[in-house]
Amino acid sequence: MCQSPVQPSPKTTSPQGEFGEVLENYKRICENVENAKAKYRSSDENIAIMAVTKTVAPEKINFAISQGITLLGENRVQEYLSKKDQYDKTAQVHMIGRLQTNKVKYIINDVAMIQSVDSVKLAKEINRLAAKNNRIMDVLLEINIGGEESKSGIAAEGLDELIYEAAQLENLRIKGLMAIPPIGCGEDMFDRMHSIFLRVKEKAVPNVSMETLSMGMSGDYELAIKHGSNLVRIGTALFGARKYLEG
Ligand SMILES: *Cc1c(COP(=O)(O)O)cnc(C)c1O
């Protein structure tokens, strides 16, 4: 469920407050999520709101955490490493960006989940380093649902093979699926993701628990919730426009 924002401190109630806009945005997002849930989902379902932090200053991120955000999404290993020491540690961090095998070692002890697993090679490296560090890593498998060449994620046709291989890795736990559907594709892609999610869930593969369906961003999270998402990843709608173009 959406955490309701904590009672704002006097400083942040002022519209002139440095991060007042973030608080207003967060309240609105919570409302929208609650409304979408009331409309499309059952009341006992939990829908997590992740704050996507790329290009956002740690102070602003920490403000969002102080208002109730408990989950951060990181895209770039380099950027995360430069900011993580300044983060309020009460929030969990998930890696959501394309992850090169040789960078897993930099994040293996800091993140609670890796949402962007899209190859057996990457799954094996995460497993190897998780074992070495005495931990189990929760992962989501990322599907390139729009079949876009520029996007990360495994083709939907390759998913069963990836599940089969990754499910055997002892220090990895498959917790669900993630997707970044093409912008403006409407509901069709969300619906397809939901079908795949339910199909895998039904198969009840050992070591695979389909708990999380991570989809929906600033422009389409309500639609994603309509189609089964229970983790929405919000950047610009929470923090405002990003300062530079994404690479
Ligand atoms: C940037 C990003 C988001 C958030 O995008 P917004 O449109 O700013 O909400 C979500 N997921 C991933 C993987 C991203 O890279």
Which domains, ranges and CATH numbers included, belong to the chain? 17-239 (3.20.20.10)
Q: How far is the CA of 52 from the centre of ligand 1 (A)?
A: 6
Residues 26 and 232: beta-carbon distance below 8 Å: no
Q: Which two tokens stand for residue 130?
A: 């998780």
Which long-range contacts does 96-103 make (Cβ < 8 Å, 24+ apart)?
96/50, 96/52, 96/178, 96/214, 96/233, 97/54, 97/152, 98/152, 101/125, 103/77
Tell me which residue has its CA closest to atom 6 in ligand 1: 235
Q: How far is the CA of 51 from the centre of ligand 1 (A)?
A: 9
Taking alpha carbons only, the member of 174, 165, 231, 230 closest to residue 204 is 174
Does the pTM exceed 0.85? yes
Mutate to test the pocket of ligand 1, among 217, 218, 239 (most ligand atoms within 8 A of CB): 217
Average pLDDT over residues 59-87: 98
Q: How far is the CA of 173 from the centre of ligand 1 (A)?
A: 24
pLDDT in tens, 29-53: 999 999 999 999 998 999 999 999 9
Q: Which one-letter amino acid corresponds to residue 217?
A: M
Contact 180 CB / ligand 1 (< 6 Å)? yes
Question: In the chain, pLDDT over 90 holds for what percent of residues?
Answer: 86
pLDDT in tens, 149-201: 888 999 999 999 999 999 999 999 999 999 999 887 779 999 999 999 999 99
User: Tokens 């208002």 identify what position?
Assistant: 67
CA dihedral 92, 96, 102, 105 (to 10 degrees): 10
Rounded-to-integer distance, Cα 147 and Cα 156, Å:
8
234 Cα nearest atom in ligand 1: 9
97 Cα nearest atom in ligand 1: 13
Average pLDDT over residues 115-141: 98
User: Tokens 């951060």 identify what position?
Assistant: 72
The DSSP output letter for 94 is E
Contact 52 CB / ligand 1 (< 6 Å)? yes
Q: How far is the CA of 160 from the centre of ligand 1 (A)?
A: 26
Q: How far is the CA of 203 from the centre of ligand 1 (A)?
A: 30
| Phi, psi (degrees; rounded to nearest 5) at 172 | -125, 140
Angle between helices 159-166 and 187-203 in degrees, nearest 10: 40
pLDDT surpasses 90 at 10: no
pLDDT surpasses 90 at 114: yes
Contact 49 CB / ligand 1 (< 6 Å)? no
Q: Which two tokens stand for residue 115?
A: 């949402």
Residues 208 and 167: beta-carbon distance below 8 Å: yes
Rounded-to-integer distance, Cα 77 and Cα 14, Å:
35
Q: How far is the CA of 10 from the centre of ligand 1 (A)?
A: 31
pLDDT surpasses 70 at 16: no
Mutate to test the pocket of ligand 1, among 29, 96, 152 (most ligand atoms within 8 A of CB): 96
Q: Which residue has the higher pLDDT, 7 or 54?
A: 54
- Give the 3-state secondary structure of residue 176: strand
String of b and e for 147-176 (b: at least 16 CB within 10 Å)? Answer: eeeebbbbebebbeebbeebeebebbbbbb
Rounded-to-integer distance, Cα 185 and Cα 176, Å:
22
Residue 5: pLDDT band with limits 50, 70, 90: low
Q: Which residue has the higher pLDDT, 150 or 72?
A: 72
